[in-house]
Structures are given as structure tokens and as C-alpha cells.
Structure 1
């Protein structure tokens, strides 16, 4: 039985992956009076006077909304809200399993930016944080930006920032293995959408080196007439050498390739043209180049998004702990400092003496990661 058939049967058997469990045991009349009417009136009155008390008197202190419009789901594309529900349930299950954070899936039947922003704003008082998921670019940029302006809780688009944080964590360890120098790297990112641009911004904030962004038309440069507004903004901080041409041209003498694009775009010849290249081929399920081919061509370190190869670079290392820390510290936003702290925390999970070309990133199944990330993020909030 292949993995897809097995998943279908297990989903049918389970009727979904999450459920609501009551934290209150209601077995007597007194229980009913305390937890509901008339006793519940008193916490309501307290919160009315001081809305911050909701964090003490309700589950808001540990509740995250996982919200999508179904427009960019996994590798499936625009499949709509109903079909995206299994993914959102899965995300919620990971929140609970890895960080004991309660998360609720909300799939919106609209792709209108104004409607999405307004809807999330209107429900935001019920939650301690909002995890935006699988919303297509460039709308996702504006949705996140506008929500940060009108909401007083953390707003986090995982496809952008979760990917950026875990990529940076893996890269921190990869440069230790290869002996490359922080700040001097020539990095090529293929895929200049939400994830690619977020990765570029995060790596620049951490001062890894020069970033060259590429998309389907080649190197992002001022000469490209097809640029989106988000890509145009990146021209000021990327491609400092003002390169032009295709992906193969960008990869000549590059130290790092990060792919968030499409399968089989990188050839052995491209890898051979790199400088002892670090390859993060993250397209799923088929990466930009298969690990065995990249290693045979001379890559020094190879990571993918897949669990059947070494160095799986997976967002589950990020979002459970990041939200756990943000909620614990009562953060009102996710800042660059929090994201950088999360990257360093994930990287630290492998001691330097255990680092190797096939061991640069901790297993996504390691449940100690969320606690380490949560502490680092909470400390960053306090600082």
C-alpha cells in the first residue's frame, strides 16, 4: 500500500485528526453552576473591565488559529477551502503533539484580500496567535502586513517565515561542516515567491552573505520586465554583483543553492560549477535535484524537505515552539529578533562535535526542539 492510499484510509477511519476535549469536568450541579451559569458571569465581568484577563481566565493563552483560503496548498496549488481542511487539521495536530499548543483550523471561502483581512481581524480576539497557511503570493504579503497593523496578537505566515527560520538553522550548521565563512557566502535562491523572498530577507538579517534570487525567467534583476512588486523591493538588497542570465549562470562559483521551486531544475553540471556547494533542494515531493545526484556531482552538503533522505528541512521544527514561546511571553507580534533566536535554537540542537555532512539539522520528530525554541523566542520577547 503506498503512502497516499494509506493516508486516505486512515483519514477515513479517523474522520479527521483533531477533536475538542473539555478541560472542565462537569459531573455535578455545582460543576455546572461554576463552569457555566450562573458562575461564568464573574470571569465575563472581569474580562469586560480588563480584556488582558482573557489570557488568565480563558484558553486564549494557548490557542492559535490556523487559517487558509486554500489558494496555495502544499504542492497541490489552488484547491479551495474544503480540500485544504486535511492539511489544516494536520497542522493543528502538529501544534498539539509537539508543543501542547491548541490550534483550530479555519478555511475561508474567499480569496479577496479585504475580506480575509477583515474576517481574521473580527475573530482575532478569540485567539492568542494567528498562523496563516497556504495563501498564494503576492496576496499573502499584503494580508500579513495589514493584519499586523490591526491585530494585537502575533501574526505568522508559516510558508514564508517558518521556512526561512528552518533553512537558516540548517545553513548555520552546514557552513560549520564545510568551513565556509559567515558573511561571505554567495547564495542563490530559486523561487522568488513567498518562501523564497522570506528566506532571502531572513538570511540578509542574519548576515549570511550576498543573495541572488531567481525565478522562472532567471536571475531577478532590474532588466527583468516581469517582476512583481515584492520582487522589485528585493532588488535593493539582493544581487549585489548585478548578475543577469539564467539559474545556471547564477550558480557559477556559488556557495549555496536553496530551491523552493520545481522538480529537476538543477543539473549535475550546475552543481559542478559551484564552490563546494551546499544544496538545499526543497521542492516537494520531487526536489530540484535528487541528493545522490547532487552528491555525486560534488555537493558538500545536501538537504531536502523529504523524510526519506538525510537532513530533512521541515517547518515542524519551527512553528510549534515559536508560538509556544510567543504565547508564554505574551508577545504582540513576531519580530526579526524572535525569528533569528529560533534559527539559532534549532541549529543548537546538534552539538558541534556531532555535525556531519549528513547531520546538519535535528530530526523533525525530536520533541525536545519545541521547548528549546520556545525558551529562545520567549527570551527574545523579554529582551
Structure 2
């Protein structure tokens, strides 16, 4: 199937992928008076007296805002907020389909950090959580940090944290397959944007020690002149040996490659220079840094991509529906690092030792166990860390 052509045709036919559906009647005088005036005044007064009752008396308890500025939409770049709407609507479909969560797309027409933050904060009382989407780095880091400081509901940038959760889960099981320890492996990234930095932070929290990021200029190291502020921060805790060189140089002797960058950057010959039983996560979409057959030709033992037509797909739908489901179930104020770690551990734990193999290190997106397992783990972590309200 020509997915591009068929999707465009269907979007024209659909005229949008979501709609608002009333859950109560308003088709006679009595039902109208209960759903609206005069009866609706009573729940309004109850919420005035106790704002937390907005979760009980409105749909807020199960409503997530999916918000972008259109500056980094898929692999298309800065195409503008209106052009990002099909993706935001699609994300809302996934929230509902996989997590049973109502979601509403919002595309904000500004790339000023403070203006964006204030806009989102001003509407945050209407929602139980905020999912940031397709916002360019490094602005996305500052936006998320400021919103988390201002809002009393979960704020989650899926491009960062969803990818990080699944990468950690997959890598946890991949290391089991090849019989290596996280404390001893050397990890090399291609890419130094939002996904790479977020994955790195979670890997460090999980106990990985030797991580080096590489962008188009070469290795990221402390004092590197062309880094933005977010890259400067991550450079303080990575590449502790101060390695220099390009991606090919860095891959020599590496145990793990994680690509969140651009197509075709890795060759079989580059993989051959890696350590025995190398692990390759080539997640650029739709064309990975190296295709699985080529990676295996170079000697890789475990290979993962972002594509659904190869084994071990790194797909964010494995994370965000369950993460938000768990956060909403306990009315969490935040999605913290412990909750992300719990989500990754839950995902990895769904595959038994008997099932684990080179082509099965992470559950498939339609595995019905995924969302309940992730949600339960996230909810438990929220309670344990004191961010749950119920």
C-alpha cells in the first residue's frame, strides 16, 4: 500500500480523526435542567469551595491535552502548528484506543518559550494532564521544566520520555540476551537532541556508566564549543574519558549503538568494529540509521528499529498510554523519574526468560498486557514517591 497517498485520501474523507460526543442526554426539559442551567450551578459551587472536586464532577479526571507548537513534527521539521494537527489528532486516537483516555489536540501559535508556557498553564485547569508533542530542542526542555514548576498536573514530553522508557526496557532485555552487564557496557548515541538526551538521563539513572553522544559535528564532550545549553548539561555526565572523533571512531569497541538521528549513518563495516554481540537500536524513522539485515551482516546480535515491519519495534505507544493511565488513576501531580523507571521495568518484565530472544526483547504494541502492567507500576511509583493524590 502507498500509505502516504492512501492516508491523504482518507484524511480528506474523514475530515478529522476525533469528535466530541455527549455522555449525558439533553433532549427534554428535565435532562436539560440537570446537565445545564439551573442544576449545573450546584457542581460549580462545589468546585469553587474545593477545586479538587473538579476531578469528580467533570471529565477532567480522564482528559489529557496534547499540545504542540509545530516546530518539530515527526521528521518533517518546523511545519507550523496547523500542519501539526493531524499528528496531534492521531495521538488523541492512540490515547483513547490504548489507554481509555480522552485527549484533545491543541496547536499553539508561538515559539516563544514563556508565551507558550503561560498559554498552556492558563488552560491547565481544564485537564488532568498535559502531553507535549513535537516541540524542537532545546526549547522543549525549558518548556517542560517551566510547566512542571507551574502546574499541579502531570506534564510529559513524549518525544523525550516515551522514547526513553521503551529504549531502557528494550536495552534491559537485550543485555540479558547477550549476557552483558549495564555497568560495563559502552553505549554510543547518534543524535544529541531531545530523545538522545532523555534516553541518556534515564540510562544513567538506571546505572549505565559509559555513554557518549555524537552529533553531526562529532563526539559531545565537556567544553565542546558548538553545544546548546541542554547539550552542555548532558556533556558534564557523559563521555567522561573525553573521547573525540566522528560516529565511526566512537563505535570502535562499543557494545551498544542507539540511533535517534538520521537515515543511513551506520554501515555494516562500522558495526564490525563494535564489540562481540553488539546491540544496535537504529530508531530514525521511517529510514533507520542502518537496516536490520545490514546490522546483522556487520555482526550485531540484537537489532531494534522504530519500524513496525521489523522485530523489536521502539514504539512510543508502548509507554505513554500506560504512563498517563497510571498517573490519572491516582490523580498524580507529576510524572517523575521513578514513575518512568517503573514503566520501563514493567515493560521489560512482560517478557519471560523463556520467551526472551534476539527478535523478542520488547512487547508488541497490541499486546493487551502492556497498558495495565505499565499503569499499575506507574501508579505504585506515584504513591511511593508522594505525588499521588488518591
Whether TM-score is above 0.5 comes out as: yes
Relative to structure 2, which stretch is displaced further, 74-83 or 364-373? Answer: 364-373
Deviation per CA, 1:165-219, whole angstroms, max 9, x where unpaired?
Answer: 1100111110111111122121111110111100100100011231111111111
In structure 1, the partner of 2:295 is 294
In structure 1, the partner of 2:236 is 236
In structure 2, the partner of 1:332 is 333
**Contact kept? 2:222, 2:236, Cα under 8 Å:** no
In structure 2, the partner of 1:357 is 358
Structure 1 residue 110, shift from structure 2 partner:
1.1
- Matched residues, number: 383
Relative to structure 2, which stretch is displaced further, 148-157 or 176-185? Answer: 176-185
Distance 1:3 1:38 in 2: 50
Distance 1:303 1:78 in 2: 27
Structure 1 residue 26, shift from structure 2 partner:
2.6
In structure 1, the partner of 2:274 is 274
In structure 2, the partner of 1:173 is 173
Distance 2:76 2:373 in 1: 32
The runs of at least 4 aligned residues of structure 1 exceeding 6 Å deviation read none
In structure 1, the partner of 2:372 is 371
Structure 1 residue 56, shift from structure 2 partner:
0.6
Q: Secondary structure at the match of 1:279?
A: strand
In structure 2, the partner of 1:87 is 87
Deviation per CA, 1:52-101, whole angstroms, max 9, x where unpaired?
Answer: 00011111100000000000000100010111100000000000000100
Structure 1 residue 222, shift from structure 2 partner:
2.8
Q: Secondary structure at the match of 1:352?
A: coil
Within a 5 Å distance, the mapping from 1:43-54 to structure 2 comes to 43-54=43-54
Distance 2:182 2:200 in 1: 15
Deviation per CA, 1:276-307, whole angstroms, max 9, x where unpaired?
Answer: 21000000111000110001110010000001
For structure 1, list consecutive stretches of 5 or more residues without a partner in the other structure.
none
Structure 1 residue 357, shift from structure 2 partner:
0.4
Distance 1:321 1:272 in 2: 38
Q: Secondary structure at the match of 2:354?
A: helix
Relative to structure 2, which stretch is displaced further, 16-25 or 170-179? Answer: 16-25
| Alignment of 1:141 onto 2:134 | no
TM-score, with normalisation over the residues of structure 1? 0.98
Structure 1 residue 29, shift from structure 2 partner:
1.7
Q: Secondary structure at the match of 1:302?
A: strand
In structure 2, the partner of 1:207 is 207
In structure 1, the partner of 2:388 is none
In structure 2, the partner of 1:347 is 348
Deviation per CA, 1:134-187, whole angstroms, max 9, x where unpaired?
Answer: 000111111011111111111100111111011001111101111111221211
